[in-house]
Amino acid sequence: MMERMYRKQQQGQCHWSLSLGMVVLLLYSWMVQGLIQQHHHHQQYFRQGNLFYPYDYCCRSVSLFHKQQQQQQQQQRQQPRQLLSIISSSCSSTRCTRSTRKLNSLNSSSNNNSNDAIEPQENNTSISSNQSSSATTTATNLLFKNKSFILSKLTNDQQSILSAMVLVLLDVFFRRIFQKFQIAFPSSLGGCAILLATLLIHGRNNNTNNNNALYNIVQPGATLLAKWLPVFFVPSLVTLPLVGTIGTPTEIAKIMAVIVGGFFFTLWTTSSSILQVAKLTSNKRNNNDNNTEQDETDSDTSVTVVTDLVTPTVQPTPPSPPPFSDTLMKQLRLWAIFTGIAALEGASPAFTSLPARMLTKFQTPVLTGHLAAVTLASFCYGARMPSTFKTVVHPLVTCTTLTWGVLALFGKCTGRTFTTMLHSYKMGHGWNGLSGTGAGDVFLFLLGPAVLSLAVSMYEKRQLVRDNAKEVATGVAVSSIGGLIGTAAMVRWISIIQPSLRVALLSRNITSPLAMAIASILGANSATVSLAVSIVVVTGLIGANFGATLLDKLGIIDPVARGMGIGAAAHGLGTAAFVKEKDAFPFAAISMALTATACTVLVSIPVIKKLVLTIALGGITDGGTVNL
């Protein structure tokens, strides 16, 4: 009996040895085959019978890798010396003695670590201010060279994620600074102003954005956050049923009247004021130079005849790619399916194994990952729908509806109510550890970096603001002051009963991240903030669908007036609808950002805050505290 067991054990070990040997042999043959396919010019080693070619090649590869590392380290050691030569050649001996001494000590320390020492070039003659500024810019770019070198070695997706993480860290830093010094102003907007000022100071001597190293670091992350910006205020729409009943049908009709009337008021007043300023400054852009084009046509008739005889070949425009790739959609669907199965198993475990007990222990983070995947996948699905469908049903509406469906289905499978699932989606505590953070809390947390990234957009359009400073300043002043005071007077005149509804309507034309900040500054609770975001989305949908048609009916053709008007009246959704109008789209983005910033600054001033609340809540309270 013992001998049989021993023989079976030996046979089993023999089978395992044979299997392991076959695997090693297959791996070795696969490695050799790959090396043959990638390096055909080294096949002579095999022809000569050198069976150890892979070992020789690996040795050569390792030596080449060490050589490249040594070259990179040598270049990094030479950077302080290049800085020394630039600064010492751009400064006189009387002003830069102390800086030269410090760099000399830095150079001597680097000489001790390297074999080849480079003597700094000394120049005792003074140079002009232009040469000094260019040398300073070159030195600054050298300081950021290591960061740019690291980013250049990454893929585009990796650069975007790393840059977004930098913006998240900056937002957390500004948030803690504002909390430490008890500053009531929104930290994200304050950080946006600081980042914009830093970008302007750092890029004042650079003609292009590519020469600004700080811009190169934060720009990929800003683009990524702008692409996913609508998702970040989906939680406010998903948790809208927690607000309760808005009121009677008459109250709902009053709310819609304020939204539609306020949109038309802001659109018309902003666009008309810009046209009046353009006329006063003799900047008539509406004529389109008809007389000049007629003169050119009369003076060059021969060219006209030739062009009439030649029939131009119109090439069909290729279809635009979908906003989100098929690969991303597939990954999000798989993520949603697997996390959904794990969340169901954790909510109602059918097994007592160790994985089942682990899923039960980490039930909340698994459910958070599942709901986050559902939200992202449903938004991508809505964004990939045909344009005819998206003009009627916005991707945010599709995302919110599908997320509601998943929450209801998950609650039915686990015996939970729909209200409980809404509380699981957005717990309202911000980041509170793995067991106290919902998917909605994560998305709302990313609103801060998204607001911070607006500095990059305004920095990119700084030249447009300078060229049209009067028109931009007029449009922002009219849209911000008129929007706040006009809406406050309208909600009082139309006699909306609930004070929370009056406060929620005050930020109807402000982009959602800052609309939430304005509602919080005015004393609104979380339910009123969610209602304010919903009103903002409805305003944006109206502007995206009917904004261009209304501007055409009003006879407003000027691109500056059209862009500033739609950006002030319909914020981000209206701006996105004007992407095909190449001349008006940049001004819509400028108007959206500056109007939201100006309104947030205005309501942060105690006197203006009290004035707005007094006008809006007239007949209910005297402008003091009210239960919102």
Residues 479-535 have pLDDT tens digits of 999 999 999 999 999 988 889 889 999 999 888 778 888 988 998 887 888 888 889
Residue with tokens 């304005």: 518
Closest C-alpha to 519, from 253, 232, 236, 247:
236
Query: What is the 8-class DSSP label of residue 555?
Result: T
Distance separating alpha carbons of residues 259 and 313, to the nearest angstrom:
47
Q: Which two tokens stand for residue 358?
A: 């682990």
What does the radius of gyration of the chain's CA atoms come to, in whole angstroms?
32
Rounded to 5°, the CA angle 451-454-457 comes to 165
* pLDDT at 575 exceeding the cut of 60: yes
DSSP string, 315-371: PPPPPPPPSS-HHHHHHHHHHHHHHHHHHHHHHS----SHHHHHHHHTHHHHHHHHH
pLDDT score for 318: 60
> Domain residue spans in the chain?
15-44, 55-143, 156-227, 326-451
Pairwise pLDDT comparison (275 vs 146), residue with the higher score: 275
What's the confidence (pLDDT) of residue 513?
Answer: 79
pLDDT digits (tens, 9 = 90+) for 182-199: 887 888 888 988 998 999
The lowest-confidence range among 73-77, 337-341, 396-400, 572-576 is: 73-77
Look up residue 353 and give its amino acid. Answer: S
Cα distance between residue 463 and residue 445, in whole Å? 32
Strand, coil or helix: 321: coil
What's the Cα-to-Cα distance from 463 to each of 125, 207, 278, rounded to whole Å?
Answer: 37, 11, 18
| Average pLDDT of the segment spanning 415-444 | 85
- Measured in degrees and rounded to the nearest 5, phi and psi for residue 22 equal -65, -40
Across 453-473, average pLDDT? 88
Q: What is the pLDDT of residue 195?
A: 92
Cβ-contact 347, 367 below 8 angstroms = yes
Higher-pLDDT residue of 52 and 294 is: 294
Mean pLDDT of the chain, nearest integer: 74
* Helix orientation angle between 187-202 and 213-227, rounded to the nearest 10 degrees: 140
Task: Tell me which residue has tokens 């009369």.
Answer: 298
The pTM score is: 0.68
